[in-house]
Structure 1
Amino acid sequence: MALIATSVLGQDHGGREAEVREALAEAYGTDTNAWQPGALASGARAAREVARDLAAQSPVGG
């Protein structure tokens, strides 16, 4: 598992998540559709909080 953290400036609007996923897919050269939606956070969250939440969802050793 990997944690990808990014910041997006501007107003949130319908379709914003799709725009961000498209930009990240291009930047990282991968399909972002399989990325866990729970990993996408709106508002200010520290990366360590997101990592903690993802670790709690992941089976040990997996």
Structure 2
Amino acid sequence: MGRKFSPQEQREVELCRRTYEQKDYDKAIELCKAAAKKFKESSLGEEAQFYLAESWYAKQRY
């Protein structure tokens, strides 16, 4: 099983999602890059990578 994440760690990735949903793609990219790096090779890192990719896509930066 994967490791348990603290509420603070979970909030970091939640902030990525909310920022993306608010269409603040530049800020979402910044937050998600940091979270993806911090939580690489984990479920939180995968979620951060997802919102990072979606933010780039929304900016039409493939």
TM-score by length of 2: 0.30
Higher relative contact order (CA 8 A, sep 6+): 2
Q: Which has more radius of gyration? A: 1
TM-score by length of 1: 0.30
More helix by share: 2
